[in-house]
Structure 1
Amino acid sequence: MQDDIRAGHQQHQQHEARQHHDAEIPAQGAHQHGHGPVGWGMAAKATLHCLTGCAIGEVLGMVIGTALGWGTVPTMALAIALAFFFGYALTLYAVTRAGVSLKAAIGVALAADTLSITVMEIVDNGVLLAVPGAMEAHLSDGLFWGALAFAFAVAFLVTTPVNKWLIGRGKGHAVVHQYHH
């Protein structure tokens, strides 16, 4: 029994050592876990994670603002605030599930997501403003949903290289990646 406990303790220590080692590797520069250059797939996955949180917040904010008959500015402000909230919330959920304290997880989420969400929000809201009638469209209009989907697609394409650059420098989702198992 004691041998089993010792073996379990040794495995836990080895796991902790690997996690510590993996946490240091992204800071070395343009390598993902020390196994070569950061690929577009990893950047796209990080961007999709960001897009998921942003889309939840954006859609919810646009639906609430449009349903309440708000103007463009308050609707966009609500959508942007909710995009940041849900973008950070998804990271907080994943990181705290990995056993990180809430305080530390907040730091991880801010470091991992702020630039990505900011770029995504600037691009997708800029696209929405550029599509004629998109901000005046009602929830039942195809223009509303089509413009929103188009804005997300453009934001994804613009934000993916940003995430690739961040991850390659050990920042952005490279900070979160150590907590994914």
Structure 2
Amino acid sequence: MRSKLALWIVLFTAAIAVVFLTPKLGSSQSSPSPHRFIAQSPTDSSMPGMKMPEMTPSIAPQPQNAMLIDRVLLVWFSLSAIAVIYVAWDALTRNPELTVMKWGWILVTLYTGVVGAALYILSCQEPAPGEHEAFVRPLWKQTLGSTIHCMAGDATGIIVAAAITAALGLPMWLDVISEYVFGFAFGLLIFQALFMKDMLGGSYLKAVRRSFTPEWLSMNAVMAGMIPVMVILMSRDMTAMEATSLRFWGVMSLATLVGLVVAFPVNLWLVAVGLKHGMGTVRALGKGGHSLATERNRIATTSGEIPAPNASTDKAIHPASELDMSDREGR
């Protein structure tokens, strides 16, 4: 209870900071700079009769505005560090989630800061021992878990690619292609097929084949949210294209938040039709909070393939209960 109270205090502080800093940001941006008027002047009075080439105003932030942006980012990342520590502590010590989901939440919180921590508390943090199944049952929580799983792999691949291409000084079009390839590869080959292969048939190649289509659909939604944010903001401020710049990571954080929002409706449909699993643990995996054994039974029923048993989790395979099936059909 105390940990939740402390986190909500942090969130409230962050909200107040944003409320007070945003108007200052807007006013500093709206005030014209005298250098812009000089740059836009088509002639030079010191050289009569000679027409000077017209110069476009600089799109880089002015010094005062840039300092304010950097201060906001410092506050944001300081709060993000606290949020990551809290989520990591709770997920690794108290939450019965699958290991891949624990690290998924930690990574997404690293990218989205206090927003990710708030989503973790609202949708995944076990309220009391043994209550995780009932707590994660609503469809929106199942969908959010699926989206977080997707974002952990896709966003990580995109950010890694962006850092590499920025260090190499590659053009923007090649940067976008690299981010798409890296994001899809991280999401499909690592976070989906590798970490979930025991549940998806026991074979790595079978897991890749089974998760290819839903991961591709979800990945496209993530890219549709992240890429425009990155291209627009980085093209307006060249310092944001350097991986050593605080603004680079600020752009990545904002892009990940937008990608999460855009990917949520797609994952809602994927979970609802059974193409993706939702929030889950060994005790409760998938839509409706049913057991891991029930999830395997569902895969066998819908695809005709029988997933390979896993000694560490498959201790009691049993058919789906009426409650499990009614939850899935009703939602």
TM-score, normalised to structure 2's length? 0.40
* Distance (Å, rounded) in 1 between the aligned partners of 2:273 and 2:238: 37
Greater helix fraction, Structure 1 or Structure 2: 1
Aligned positions, number: 144
Query: Aligned match of 2:212 in 110, 113, 118?
Result: 110
Q: What is the aligned partner in structure 1 of residue 273 from structure 2?
A: 169
By how many angstroms is 1:136 displaced?
A: 5.6
| Deviating 4+ runs (over 6 angstroms) | none
Q: What is the aligned partner in structure 1 of residue 198 from structure 2?
A: 97
Of 123-132 and 56-65, more deviation after overlay is shown by 123-132
Q: What is the aligned partner in structure 1 of residue 146 from structure 2?
A: 46
Aligned residues of 2:240 and 2:247 also touching (Cα < 8 A): no
Structure 2: gaps spanning 5 or more residues: 1-136, 279-284, 287-294, 297-312, 314-331
Aligned residues of 2:239 and 2:247 also touching (Cα < 8 A): no
Aligned residues of 1:92 and 1:106 also touching (Cα < 8 A): yes
* Distance (Å, rounded) in 1 between the aligned partners of 2:188 and 2:261: 20
By how many angstroms is 1:137 displaced?
A: 2.1
* Distance (Å, rounded) in 2 between the aligned partners of 1:163 and 1:146: 25
* Distance (Å, rounded) in 1 between the aligned partners of 2:253 and 2:161: 15
Question: Structure 1 pair 88/112, CA: closer, same or farther in 2 (3 Å)?
Answer: same
Of 104-113 and 150-159, more deviation after overlay is shown by 104-113
* Distance (Å, rounded) in 1 between the aligned partners of 2:211 and 2:239: 30
CA RMSD of aligned residues (A): 2.4
By how many angstroms is 1:161 displaced?
A: 1.7
1:140 aligns with 2:244: yes
Secondary structure of 2:202's aligned partner: coil
* Distance (Å, rounded) in 1 between the aligned partners of 2:224 and 2:239: 15
Aligned residues of 2:226 and 2:258 also touching (Cα < 8 A): yes
Identical pairs, percent: 23
- Bigger radius of gyration: 2
Of 52-61 and 94-103, more deviation after overlay is shown by 94-103
Aligned residues of 1:111 and 1:172 also touching (Cα < 8 A): no
By how many angstroms is 1:111 displaced?
A: 2.9
CA deviations over 1:131-176 (Å, ceiling 9, x no partner) = 22268621122221111110100110111121112211222346x9
* Distance (Å, rounded) in 2 between the aligned partners of 1:54 and 1:134: 24
Query: Aligned match of 1:80 in 180, 188, 193?
Result: 180
Aligned residues of 1:40 and 1:164 also touching (Cα < 8 A): yes
Aligned residues of 2:143 and 2:267 also touching (Cα < 8 A): yes
Query: Aligned match of 2:171 in 71, 75, 79?
Result: 71
Aligned residues of 2:218 and 2:263 also touching (Cα < 8 A): yes
Q: What is the aligned partner in structure 2 of residue 56 from structure 1?
A: 156
* Distance (Å, rounded) in 1 between the aligned partners of 2:220 and 2:276: 12
Structure 1: gaps spanning 5 or more residues: 1-36
CA deviations over 1:39-60 (Å, ceiling 9, x no partner) = 1111111111110101221111
TM-score, normalised to structure 1's length? 0.71
Q: What is the aligned partner in structure 2 of residue 10 from structure 1?
A: none
